[in-house]
Amino acid sequence: MRLSLLAVLMAPALLAQAPKPFQAQAASTVSYTTKGDEKTVEIHNVAFEVTSEQVPGRPPKERLLLRKTFVAKQIEGDEGEEATTTIEAWPLGTDLKAKPIYSLTLTGREGQTVDNALWVASRGTEEQDWWSVYKLGNAQHLFETYVPLLKFSISLDIQKERYVGLEVPPDDAADKRLREPHVLGVLTYASEDKVMREALLTDDDVQHARLLRSFADETHEVSLVEGPRPVGKGEPTRKLKITFSENWPSPPSVQEVVIPILGDDLDLAHAQTPPKMHIAAWKR
């Protein structure tokens, strides 16, 4: 009797949560205007995307409807552009007139979803590309990276994705600690849920540190080095490699930092660094 009564009480709530049919549309526009010698291009793009189920942080069977808006203005002859990207999210079946579960607007170009778990927004509007990484389920910020996001599974048998980025701080970095002249950057190791480890790279030589931080003079890369899988059970050895290489017309000069991955963490104690360079655990 109690079970029957509970079912009767739950039925209206379940019906109220059922997705409802709806229809929405949004216009994308482009304009080209001239005013004297000034020529301006303005773009307004809107796109919709539906996620799969199992978005981290959301109910297991729920799918999200995303509305992505990109607005850009560029004056011919000027470097860079004025650009913003916005992502809004609703549970699929919700009328878009309703308030979204979140709305996130950033300076930068368009972003993309990654693994049904992350929103990676392209932030570079000038010469340097960089990206901000957020949780797709609630738009919580995870980290910044000035190299393309690196992702891999920590297990060959079960997908357990990990994400790695390298933040090379500009001179006006918001965190004052990153403006310290010996700092080279921050390596971030994260899951879809949280930042698991941050490591600070420094150089004893201030002039050398300034060179390695330079976006104009250096190319920065982060890659995964994976060894063979042991016979039988076990995971292959994995290492992260950070590469600093001087750009043309400077003579080739490459410096590497290699960090072993032990279990599901960075083995900073056994990291290999060039002379006068150091890497140590760090927290925001």
Question: Coil, helix or strand for 177?
Answer: helix
Please report where in the chains the tokens 């600070």 appear, as a residue.
200
Structure tokens that stand for 261 in this block: 């991955």
Structure tokens that stand for 232 in this block: 């039988």
Each of the 284 residues of the chain gets a pLDDT tens digit; together they read 333 333 333 334 433 455 667 677 777 899 988 888 888 999 999 999 999 999 999 999 999 999 999 999 888 877 767 899 999 999 999 999 999 999 999 999 889 999 999 999 999 867 789 999 999 999 999 999 999 999 999 988 888 999 999 999 988 899 999 999 999 999 999 999 999 999 999 999 999 999 999 999 999 999 999 998 777 677 889 999 999 999 988 887 899 999 999 999 999 999 999 999 999 999 98
- Model pLDDT, residue 112: 95
- Model pLDDT, residue 13: 40
Instruction: State the CB neighbour count (10 A cutoff) for residue 11.
Output: 10
Q: Which runs of E-coded beta strand occur in 26-146?
A: 29-35, 38-50, 64-75, 82-91, 102-107, 111-114, 118-122, 131-135, 141-145
pTM value is 0.87
Helices (H), the chain: 2-17, 206-213
Alpha-carbon span 246 to 244, nearest angstrom: 7
Structure tokens that stand for 26 in this block: 């949004």
- Model pLDDT, residue 250: 83
**Beta-sheet pairing, 141-145 with 150-153:** unpaired
Question: Coil, helix or strand for 3?
Answer: helix
Question: Coil, helix or strand for 279?
Answer: strand
Hey, what's the torsion of the CAs at 150, 126, 218, 184, to 10 degrees? -70
Alpha-carbon span 31 to 161, nearest angstrom: 41
**Beta-sheet pairing, 82-91 with 102-107:** antiparallel
**Beta-sheet pairing, 254-262 with 141-145:** unpaired
- Model pLDDT, residue 4: 39
